[in-house]
Structure 1
Amino acid sequence: MADLRKYSRAFVTEFIELYRELPSLWMVKSKDYSNRDLKSQSYEILVGKFEEVEPYADRDFVIKKIKNMRDVWRRQHEKIEKSLKSGMAVEDIPTPSLWYYDLLNFLKDQETTRSSITNIKIGNKDRVRCEIKIQFML
């Protein structure tokens, strides 16, 4: 889990809002997503923000925090999506326990599913076409 408990909610909210304003770091369909210089500048902005509470913060530190936040958010999101697809009654659908879940909802359409071929032998078949969920992180 992204150990954000030691930071104030106000700080984490500001950090997530700043991250949202830097689509070169999370919007995979943007042309800026492939721009290394722009990404470096964006990470420096986030590092500067984190240095307000962690003087030793660097790019790797920030990347790890973002990855952890996104992983926790994704698990909650998948749980909710699975419940919605199951035909569960609205009142039975789990509510997210993650307090910043709604702040990260801008990431919803950044996950894509694509078809792939696996080399795992299943029965008499050598190759099997399967769906693999690809998650773009950084």
Structure 2
Amino acid sequence: MVKFVKTVKRITFSDEKIIELIELYRENECLWNIKSAEYKNNIKRKAAITDIAKNLFVKEEIIKKKITSIRSTYLMEKKKILDSHKTGSGTDDLYSPLVPLYEHMTFLNDVIIARKTKSNLESQIIEEKKKINENMIIYDINQMRRKKNILKHINKRSRREPRATKPTTIRRSGKRIFR
């Protein structure tokens, strides 16, 4: 049995070609502006990708992958910048993007909102607190059960023992015995 392996030829873009791609991408708001009505029009989006591919003489799949790659790189650089501002670093320690294309992608600032992430440490602390709370609840339930069992036992004993009433007298061989 012969297996055919699809080989993908890696195409590298020069900085000039990437800048041209970014400019074409910016012109086609239907591809990136989620606030635009055209953004939801899949036919228009497909046509825009086709036009960009024709202008750059590259296949559509490669354009889609390259746009995804450029956006991801832009988001990573943006996150690094924001993180460096949050740390309270001095102006000398602030991160400046190493990617020369960062400035060309700033038009995405209005539409790309970085998601908040949780660190592993925060999630571990939250999980530990949940476990502690669960254990405390289980402990409280067990304590309530013990108290309930003790009360049941006390009630059973009190039922078996006669209640205190007036002493009764019994005569045996002429002597009175109080009970």
If the length of structure 2 is used for normalisation, what is the TM-score?
0.56
| Structure with the higher fraction of residues in helix conformation | 2
Please name the residue that 2:63 is paired with: 62
Please name the residue that 1:132 is paired with: none
**Which fold has the larger relative contact order, with Cα–Cα distance below 8 Å and residues 6 or more apart in sequence?**
1
Please name the residue that 1:101 is paired with: 102
Give the deviation of 1:9 after TM superposition: 2.2
Q: Which range moves more in the overlay, 88-97 or 19-28? A: 88-97
Partner Cα distance (1:7, 1:81) in 2: 28
Please name the residue that 1:131 is paired with: none
Q: Compared with structure 1, are the counterparts of its residues 88 and 74 closer, same or farther at alpha carbon in structure 2 (3 Å cutoff)? A: same
Give the deviation of 1:108 after TM superposition: 1.5
Give the deviation of 1:76 after TM superposition: 0.8
Please name the residue that 2:170 is paired with: none
| Structure with the higher fraction of residues in strand conformation | 1
Give the deviation of 1:7 after TM superposition: 2.8
Rg: which structure is higher? 2
Q: Which amino acid aligns with 1:91?
A: D
Identity among equivalent pairs (%): 27
Partner Cα distance (2:19, 2:113) in 1: 26
Q: Compared with structure 1, are the counterparts of its residues 7 and 38 closer, same or farther at alpha carbon in structure 2 (3 Å cutoff)? A: same
Long gaps (5+) in structure 2 = 1-9, 117-125, 134-179
Q: Which range moves more in the overlay, 63-72 or 85-94? A: 85-94
If the length of structure 1 is used for normalisation, what is the TM-score?
0.71
| CA RMSD, Structure 1 to Structure 2 (Å) | 2.4
Partner Cα distance (2:83, 2:55) in 1: 35
Query: How many residues are aligned here?
Result: 112
